[in-house]
Amino acid sequence: MNIPRLRYGSPARAGLDPQETNLLVQEARALTEGPRPWCAGLVVLAGRGPVVAVEAAAGWALRYRGWDEERGGPVELPRAERVAVTPATPFDLASLTKLFTAFTTLQQIERGTLGLDAPVADHLPDYPAAAHHGFTVRQLLTHTTGLRPELPLYDLPDLAARIEALRVEEPVAETGTRIYSDLNMLILQQLLERVTGRPLDRLIEECVTRPLGMTATRFGPAPGAAATEDQRRPWAKVDRGPLRGVVHDENAWALGGVAGHAGLFSTARDLGVFCRTLLGGGSYGTARVLGADHVALMLDLGLGFEVDRPWFMGELAGPHAAGHTGFTGTSLVVDRATDTFLVLLATTVHPRRTTPDSTPRARAATRLRRAVRGAG
């Protein structure tokens, strides 16, 4: 099968209303403006079918020197020292990494090395909690193991202690209860590495990014990436100072930068290819990385993906819309009903994390949905 590769074209060529796509770009750019913007910088990319109709960069990949705790505000860099965002700027994907962990898991299910409803203990017999509570691969992918959202692995002395804490962690709720948890993806990482004999970074590269030509997608360090946080207590969990090009998530950092829940860096263009692959049933160009039935299974059941979430999908939300968000300001949505995709990469934690606000994500998705309607 040869699925058309992405190409750039006008909104009209993509079957989108130019007025709505213009508003999408204008509103996105406005998010980087003012003394306290929603984000320091962003790239937005959107399209329909194989056509990228929107690609816009705004703001700064590096705007601040850090955070002044006494003054309670950011410390601006002189304009001459700032770095502008471009469409080729890599961003810390944060939890969008989970999509790639889920995708590689479905690849193993398709190959028969894993079963969706097989007990995790079949492959990780040394994980007592998984064995005792009967965790399945499906439960890890759907966040229904009952495990708490995270563990403070960053406070433990070394990698061995961190893996041990994950290995013996007991659920805080009855198995089957949905609690969104990074721990599920960390256990999936251990499972994938045990089954394939390959580390997660190599597995994702060999099975997903390389065959799709996603050359900008990799675990850090990522020179030239958009800056994230001046990471210090009390607002952060560790004291690392200003971060750029190294993973923001504290637990991913504590695990060496490669983790099932966070750690990947990518560009909007690369993620557009990933979106097109999902909408193309697991194929892109001449590359086939997953069968269409397993892609449908993943998106229909929300295996690693969030499905029909208006809080960040806006009016694009529906039973055929799937995607995810990331703590650093990233998000991705694909909608099979309209054959559309939206990638928003932003730096909402530069120079310091704030209360998460997904209103701009939802607004951008709504603009894309209205662009479909406006085009008739």
Q: Which fold has domain 100-201?
A: Methane Monooxygenase Hydroxylase; Chain G, domain 1 (1.20.58)
CA dist 375 and 49 (Å) reads: 14
Evaluate whether 156 touches 254 at the Cβ level (below 8 Å): yes
Digit-coded pLDDT (tens) for 23-70: 999 999 999 998 889 999 999 999 999 999 999 999 999 999 999 999
Main-chain dihedrals φ then ψ at residue 265, nearest 5 degrees = -115, 145
Say if residue 3's pLDDT is above 90.
Answer: no
pLDDT at position 310 is: 98
For every residue of the chain, which 3-state class applies, written as one string?
CCECCCEECCHHHHCCCHHHHHHHHHHHHHCCCCCCCCCCEEEEEEEECCEEEEEEEEEEEECEEEEECCCCEEEECCHHHCEECCCCCCEECHHHHHHHHHHHHHHHHHHCCCCCCCEHHHCCCCCHHHHHHCCEHHHHHCCCCCCCCCCCHHHCCCHHHHHHHHHHCCCCCCCCCCCCCHHHHHHHHHHHHHHHCCCHHHHHHHHHHHHHCCCCCEECCCCCCCEEEEECCCCCCCCCEEEECCCCCHHHHHCCCCCCCCCEEECHHHHHHHHHHHHCCCEEECEECCCHHHHHHHHHHCCCCEECCHHHHHHHCCCCEEEEEECCCEEEEEECCCCEEEEEEECCCCCCCCCCCCHHHHHHHHHHHHHHHHCC
The pLDDT-based confidence of 246 (bands split at 50, 70, 90) is: very high
pLDDT at position 81 is: 97
Q: Which residue has the tokens 């039935």?
A: 293
Say if residue 122's pLDDT is above 80.
Answer: yes
Strand partners, 68: 73
- pTM, two decimals, is 0.97
Same fold, 7-90+221-374 and 100-201: no
Burial of 233 (0-12, 13-18, 19+ CB in 10 A): exposed
Domain map (residue ranges) of the chain: 7-90+221-374, 100-201
pLDDT at position 2 is: 77
Say if residue 376's pLDDT is above 80.
Answer: no
* Residue type at 210 in one-letter notation: R
If you average pLDDT over residues 134-154, what whole number do you get?
A: 98
Say if residue 1's pLDDT is above 80.
Answer: no
Q: pLDDT above 90 covers what percent of the chain?
A: 97
Digit-coded pLDDT (tens) for 273-313: 999 999 999 999 999 999 999 999 999 999 999 999 999 99
Q: pLDDT above 70 covers what percent of the chain?
A: 100
pLDDT at position 36 is: 86
Q: Which fold has domain 7-90+221-374?
A: Beta-lactamase (3.40.710)
